[in-house]
Amino acid sequence: MPLDRRTFLKGLGLSTIGIAGSTGAGSDDLAFVSQAAAGTPPEQTVNFAENVIYQIISDRFRDGNPDNNATGELASDDCSNLRKYCGGDWQGIIDKIQSGYLTDLGVSAVWISPPFENITAVDSDIGTSYHGYWARDFTDTNQFFGDMETFKQLVDVAHQNGIKVVIDFVPNHTSPSTSDDELEDGVLYDNGSYVAAYNDDPESYFHHNGGTDYSSYEDQIYRNLYNLADFDQHEAYIDQYLKDAIKQWLDTGIDGIRVDAVAHMPPKWQKTLVDTIYDHRPVFTFGEWFLGADQSNPRYYEFSNDSGMSLLDFRFGHEIRQVLRDFTDDWYGFRDMLQETAAEHDQVIDQVPFIDNHDMPRFTVEGGDTRNTDMALAVLLTSRGTPAVYYGTEQYLTGGNDPENRKPMPSFDTTTTAYKVIQELTALRSSNPALAYGDTEERWINSDVFVYEREFGDNVVLVAINRSLDWYDVSGLHTSLPEGTYDDVLGGTLDGFTATVNADGSIDTFSLSPQTVCVWEYTGTTTEPALGHVGPTMGQPGHTVVLSGDGFGSTEGTVEFGTTSASVTSWSDTEIEATVPAVSGGYYDVTVTDANGVQSTPFSGYEVLSGDQISARFVVNDATTDMGENVYVVGNVHELGNWDADRAVGPFFNQVVHEYPNWYYDVNLPAGTDIEFKFVKIASDGTVTWESGSNRTYTTPTDSTGEYTGTWK
Ligand code: NOJ
Ligand code: NOJ
Ligand code: CA
Ligand code: CA
């Protein structure tokens, strides 16, 4: 059955059990599950690598409760106006979980639209808040999606069916502040009480620096994105408001968070947000750093590696569209993208690849060949990372830019080829850990054909794809699959066939027919510890960390952070739970040693923070610099680089909030701590100029935000 049975059973603490019924929503299953695990979250909320996420625009999936529909100017009952509310809601998602549509598809997480109360005004051009990105009160629900009780029911029903719930969180802004005042002026409420609006903002809860022209990182953080009222996260009230809000939603039992617009908020403040999340209840957190096609940005990778959260994999998303949708690039370009992302991301398997989403034209082209969609889904679902499938892609929904890419679900047909491809590969993702944790190796390539292998422990998946209308002979192919005969996992759905692997790992020359995808797999018995995933990748001493992989053995061994042992709270052959030991802040290699003394290869770069994190703004005035030189801060705590100028924090900004020769940067620091530090200037060739005199000192606040201002010396 396509349910993530492995994870599900692990959640019950069972290794094998027969569950009657072959479909996820069979009545036997439900009866069994609701007794055993009603309301119990899937155990694994930090590791999504074995999962497949299904992205839903809540207003467009299904109307499960017409009583909560918007009316009048806000509504478009037949959804002919795609900028208005069309009636979809959480009850509709509950219905489609219970009917088996999502469980049979095999997706194991749903990512829903921002669930918060949004503004209820209509703008004649840009429409309504049907998408959920125009929050008014982060503590309440969007009434058109449902009330809090229905939200909790969604979480419960999802959990009972092995599905995790991911919410979209939007801490960058409230809603548009339009000059013609058609909307609600970015108004903010807290638990039903008015707080402020963009033009009624005596406490400066919002930035008032105009709209961004994207000319620099600083510009896009501290100015409004479009005309969305931009929060000042440095303001103590807003910092607390947003952190309290996410804690409240974590308390509903959600399993994941997608963070909107992460390229538009101070990166180190976001690190304090992620610390708040992991400290409260760790869940898989991934951000949206929008990259355009063919854009690669060092800041993007830096954020993915430093913030503690993952990113939506825009590099993958654009590349696969070029190769299989637009045919503007070929498999060599795809291979290069795989190599670049594997090299640049510390944890490429934690990123979230996709083939389309609500911010780009649908993958399926009107009047185009849906076979391209099927092939792209097969590549996506056998990819490294946690794949996200956009709702309706399995029904070949088409549409250009927003809002055309957000049409209502046209049908819930379970017989489409795309539905079958997803079904077959979600099942493989949960049964063969090579897809979740394996590296990706090129085995054969030309512009039209790509044969790649995923391997982890003794598990192997080999994929062969020919995107073209031509036949190709594939000769000289080698694989890690053991000698034997392998049926196509897709059962011929995309014309795949059986392969025979010789004793030396070779496969005799074969012909790959047009538009064919073959998937061959071997699930082995890993006997030495293979560590695939550690999550979260950042935390504090005392936090729980989950290690996933294969071959840990059934007898408890040891987990180490560097050379310090971590106490183990649970141990199985594929999953260990341990507690981050009381080591000082820094980066640690994490290893698993089994009961026979065999050690895994290390998971590098687990970040131990020095304690609860707060955000502080460091300002240094009168720091004149030469061309190419920038100001940074370095100090005596891990968060300030432990006096290592190579790890100095910055570069500081000097154009929007303060202007050159004054510089500022919002920094994450351990709360309630006496720190010593200096500002430094670092030239483009790396030359470091330290401030003269004694170290500066600063005691960080115990919560809330802080500020330190000094003059360069
Ligand atoms: C990115 C979201 O995905 C997009 O749909 C939204 O409009 C903007 N961020 C602003 O919230
Ligand atoms: C590191 C030292 O520990 C610190 O005290 C000093 O100010 C800087 N280096 C600059 O010399
Ligand atoms: Ca409704
Ligand atoms: Ca911002």
pTM above 0.85, yes or no: yes
CA of 212 to the centre of ligand 4 (A): 9
Ligand 2 centre distance from Cα of residue 643 (Å): 7
User: CA–CA separation, 208 vs 199, rounded Å?
Assistant: 9
DSSP per position, 360-386: S--SSPTTS-HHHHHHHHHHHHTSSS-
Residue 5: pLDDT over 90: no
Q: Is 643 in the pocket of ligand 2 (CB under 6 A)?
A: yes
Percent of the chain at pLDDT > 90 equals: 93
Decide if pLDDT at 2 tops 60.
Answer: no
The token pair at 416 is 């489409």
- Ligand 1 atom 7, closest CA: 133
Q: What's the 518 CA to ligand 1 centre distance in angstroms?
A: 36
Ligand minimally distant from the alpha carbon of residue 217: 4
* Ligand 2, pocket-test mutation among 690, 694, 697, most atoms within 8 A of CB: 690
Span 109-132, pLDDT tens digits: 999 999 999 999 999 999 999 999
Cα(171) to centroid(ligand 4), Å: 9
State the DSSP code for 354: B
CA of 114 to the centre of ligand 3 (A): 16
pLDDT score of 43: 61
Lowest mean pLDDT among 1-10, 415-424, 560-569: 1-10
pLDDT at residue 1 is higher than 50: no
pLDDT at 26: 32
For residue 294, what pLDDT is reported? 86
Higher-pLDDT residue of 153 and 295 is 153
Q: What is the pLDDT of residues 322-332, one digit of tens each?
A: 999 999 999 99
Angle of helix 314-324 versus helix 370-381 axis, rounded to 10: 140
Q: What are phi and psi of 210, to 5 degrees?
A: 80, -175
Q: Among 228, 265, 352, 359, say which to mutate for ligand 1: greatest number of ligand atoms within 8 Å of CB.
A: 359
Q: Which ligand lies nearest the alpha carbon of 694?
A: 2
The closest of 309, 465, 294, 315 to 376, measured between CA atoms, is: 465
Nearest-CA residue for atom 7 of ligand 2? 695
CA pair distance 523, 432, nearest whole angstrom: 6
The answer to whether residue 96 scores a pLDDT higher than 70 is: yes
Based on its alpha-carbon atoms, the radius of gyration of the chain, rounded to whole angstroms, reads 26
* Cβ-contact 378, 454 below 8 angstroms: no
Residue nearest to atom 6 of ligand 2 (CA): 695
pLDDT of 7 above 70: no
Helix (H), strand (E) at residue 409: none
Catalytic residues: 260, 288
- pLDDT tens string 199-237: 999 999 999 999 999 999 999 999 999 999 999 999 999
Which ligand number lies closest to the CA of residue 68? 3
Average pLDDT on 698-712 reads 97
Mutate to test the pocket of ligand 2, among 637, 642, 678 (most ligand atoms within 8 A of CB): 678
560-601: per-residue pLDDT in tens? 999 999 999 999 999 999 999 999 999 999 999 999 999 999
- Under 8 Å between Cβ of 236 and 205: no
Indicate the pLDDT class of residue 27, thresholds 50, 70 and 90: very low
Residue 296: pLDDT band by 50, 70, 90 thresholds?
confident
Can you tell me whether residue 142 is helix, strand or coil? coil
Which residues of 523-654 form beta strands (DSSP E)?
Answer: 530-535, 538-539, 544-550, 558-561, 564-571, 575-579, 586-593, 603-608, 613-621, 630-635
Q: How far is the CA of 699 from the centre of ligand 4 (A)?
A: 27
Task: Transcribe 49-96 into DSSP letters.
Answer: TT--EEE--HHHH--S-GGG---GGGB-TT--STTSB----HHHHHHH
Whole-number Å distance between alpha carbons of 375 and 494:
8
| Mean predicted confidence (pLDDT) in 61-90 | 98
- The tens digit of pLDDT for each residue in 133-145 reads 999 999 999 999 9
- What's the average model confidence in pLDDT over 329-354? 98
Q: What are the residues whose beta carbons fall under 8 Å from the beta carbon of 298, sequence distance 6 or more?
A: none
- Candidates 638, 634, 691; CA nearest to 665 is 634
Q: In the 3-class helix/strand/coil scheme, how is 249-310 assigned residue by residue?
A: HHCCCCCEEEECCHHHCCHHHHHHHHHHHHHHCCCEEEECCCCCCCCCCHHHHHHHHHCCCE
- Residue 182 has what pLDDT? 87
* Mean pLDDT on 16-31: 32
User: How far from 194 is each of 190, 200, 676, CA to CA, in Å?
Assistant: 7, 11, 40
What is the predicted pLDDT for the residue at 263? Answer: 98
Q: Is residue 540 a contact partner of residue 502, using CB atoms and an 8 Å limit?
A: no
pLDDT range class, residue 465, cuts 50, 70, 90: very high
> Around 202, how many Cα atoms within 13 Å sit in the side-chain half-sphere?
1
Pocket of ligand 1 (CB under 6 A): 131, 133, 170, 260-261, 288, 358-359
pLDDT in tens, 60-71: 999 999 999 999
d(CA 178, CA 168): 24
How does residue 450 score in pLDDT terms, banded at 50, 70 and 90?
Answer: very high
Torsion sign across C-alpha atoms 431, 433, 434, 437: positive
- Binned at pLDDT 50, 70 and 90, residue 186 comes out as very high
Contacts of 295 (CB under 8 A, 6+ apart): 314, 318
